[in-house]
């Protein structure tokens, strides 16, 4: 047997294990795409809906109703005084117009829809009453791909998937092998231990390349995303992150014997990052006081770097700080994990 055959066979073992487990395939490849589809549909950009306006029954109501119905963008209903307050409270109407010599607008100023309705209703009624605007203008509507929620979401899901894939693919798999005493059995052979580690990482990185292709390909085809030539950079970042997260996966697996325990450790490590690291919403939403911590998280670094190269077309040299964060997490994890790792 040649010097590298151990590595090759270990790599084949990991890949076979992965490819022959339908449930794993689903969680790694299918689930993130389903998530992207679901969230993409739920948060799709749409033209502003009709504003529903109530007009209080009474003298002059008819004129107002006609004036509003003549303009696009309004749904108008006539309401009683009592009924009007209830419908306003429930959000069935955004604003109630009370006819009279002086018009009265009733709306909730803390509700964006109410504020919008006030401005549009006033505009429509003033023009209907003969107001002319002193300045002329034209409108250019901008719907730029790259600013939609789904554009934000897809790199975040990719980052999340790389993290959980590495933690489970390395951490969980190693503890499983330890609990089956397979690690111990392997340690009793002349297997080079570096081969074992490298093969485990190599199989993980192979899967990551497929994940990147699948996620980004799906984003492009299904959501029409534009990546500004950032795909090679995103692939490189993903591989780097996979290597770094492998170190973290190795770290949670150093001594743990039970798969239940390692599952808990993995979730303990991952869930805070799923929240703060800008997967589903921007990490900028957290207070300034904790931003240094949020930005030091490896998943934040990965997500921000992925978005920079994919959505803004940034090059990798502009992402060195984030790359350094990823390298530091991976490097420190590996050093500690390799010192503590138990085969028995």
Q: For 57, how many CA atoms within 13 A lie in the half-sphere containing its CB?
A: 7
From 107-115, 177-185, 214-222, 305-313, span contacting other proteins (CB under 8 A): 177-185
> Which H helix or E strand runs over 224?
none
> Nearest approach, Cβ of 254 to other proteins (angstroms)?
18
Beta carbons within 10 angstroms of residue 54's beta carbon: 25
Q: How far apart are CA 78 and CA 142, in angstroms?
A: 35
Closer to other proteins by Cβ: residue 24 or 328: 24
Nearest distance in Å: CB 188, other proteins: 4
Residue 189 near other proteins by CB under 8 A: yes
The single residue among 69, 131, 180, 258 that binds other proteins, judged by CB under 8 A, is 180
209 binds other proteins (CB under 8 A): no
Q: Least separation, in Å, of the C-beta of 5 and other proteins?
A: 4
The smaller minimum CB distance to other proteins, of residues 243 and 253, is found at 253
- Which are the contacts of 145, defined by CB distance < 8 A and separation ≥ 6? 151, 224, 225, 226
Rounded Cα–Cα distance for residues 187 and 145 (Å): 53
Stretch that binds other proteins, among 1-9, 118-126, 150-158, 215-223 (CB under 8 A): 1-9
Q: Does the protein bind other proteins through residue 187 (CB under 8 A)?
A: yes
CA–CA separation, 342 vs 329, rounded Å? Answer: 21
Report if residue 5 touches other proteins, rule: CB under 8 A.
yes
Q: Is 202 in the site for other proteins (CB under 8 A)?
A: no
The reply to whether 181 sits near other proteins by the rule CB under 8 A is: yes
Closest listed residue to residue 218, CA positions, set 46, 42, 30, 45: 30
Question: Tokens standing for 299?
Answer: 């998943």
- Give least dist CB 149 to other proteins, A: 39
Handedness of CA 64, 67, 73, 74 (dihedral sign): positive
Residue 15 binds other proteins, judged by CB under 8 A: no
Of 44, 69, 131, 184, the one binding other proteins (CB under 8 A) is: 184
Nearest distance from C-beta of residue 191 to other proteins, angstroms: 4
Q: Does residue 143 belong to the site contacting other proteins (CB under 8 A)?
A: no
Which one among 17, 78, 83, 122 touches other proteins, defined by CB under 8 A? 17
- Residue 67: partners with Cβ closer than 8 Å, 6 or more residues away: 124, 125, 128, 129
Confirm or reject binding of residue 257 to other proteins (CB under 8 A): no
Does the footprint of other proteins cover residue 1 (CB under 8 A)? yes
Residue closer to other proteins, measured from CB, 131 or 180: 180
Contact with other proteins (CB under 8 A) among 89, 185, 255, 257: 185
Partner residues linked to 52 by β-bridges: 75
Judged by CB under 8 A, the residue of 70, 129, 182, 209 near other proteins is 182
* Residue 20 is a binding residue for other proteins (CB under 8 A): yes
Angle, nearest 10°, between helix axes 231-252 and 298-311?
170
Listed ranges 14-22, 29-37, 215-223, 273-281: which one lies at the site for other proteins (CB under 8 A): 14-22
Torsion-angle region of residue 274: left (phi > 0), alpha (psi -120 to 50) or beta? alpha
CB atoms within 10 A of CB 308: 21
- CB of 262: closest distance to other proteins in angstroms? 17
With residue 333 as reference, give the H or E element that holds it.
helix 320-340
- Number of neighbours of residue 223 by Cβ within 10 angstroms: 17
Binding site for other proteins (CB under 8 A): 1, 5-6, 8-10, 12-13, 16-17, 20-21, 180-182, 184-191, 344
């Amino acid at each position: 047997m040649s010097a590298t055959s151990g590595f090759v066979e270990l790599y084949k073992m990991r890949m076979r294990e992965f490819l022959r487990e339908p449930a794993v395939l689903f969680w790694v490849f299918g689930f993130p795409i389903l998530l992207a589809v679901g969230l993409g549909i739920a948060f799709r950009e749409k033209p502003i809906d009709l504003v529903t306006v109530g007009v209080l029954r009474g003298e002059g109501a008819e004129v107002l109703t006609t004036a509003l119905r003549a303009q696009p963008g309004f749904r108008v209903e006539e309401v009683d005084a009592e009924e009007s307050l209830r419908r306003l409270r429930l959000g069935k109407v955004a604003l109630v117009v009370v006819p009279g010599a002086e018009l009265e607008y009733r709306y909730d100023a803390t509700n964006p829809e109410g504020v919008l309705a006030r401005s549009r209703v006033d505009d429509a009624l003033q023009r209907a009453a003969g107001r002319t605007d002193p300045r002329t203008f034209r409108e250019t509507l901008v719907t730029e791909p790259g600013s939609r929620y789904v554009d934000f979401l897809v790199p975040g899901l990719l980052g999340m998937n790389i993290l959980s894939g590495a933690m489970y693919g390395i951490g969980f798999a190693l503890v499983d092998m330890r609990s089956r005493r397979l690690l111990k059995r392997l340690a009793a052979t002349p297997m080079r231990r570096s081969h074992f580690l490298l093969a485990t990482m190599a199989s993980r990185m192979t899967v990551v390349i497929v994940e990147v292709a699948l996620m980004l390909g799906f984003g492009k085809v299904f959501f029409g995303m534009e990546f500004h030539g950032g795909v090679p950079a995103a692939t490189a970042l993903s591989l780097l992150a996979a290597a770094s997260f492998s170190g973290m996966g190795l770290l949670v697996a150093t001594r743990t014997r039970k798969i239940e325990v390692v599952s808990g450790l993995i979730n303990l490590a991952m869930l805070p990052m799923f929240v703060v690291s800008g997967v589903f919403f921007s990490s900028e939403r957290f207070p300034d006081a904790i931003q240094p911590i949020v930005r030091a998280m490896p998943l934040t670094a990965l997500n921000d770097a992925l978005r920079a190269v994919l959505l803004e077309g940034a090059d990798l040299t502009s992402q060195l700080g984030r790359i350094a964060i990823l390298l530091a997490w991976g490097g420190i994890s590996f050093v500690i994990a390799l010192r503590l790792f138990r085969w028995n």
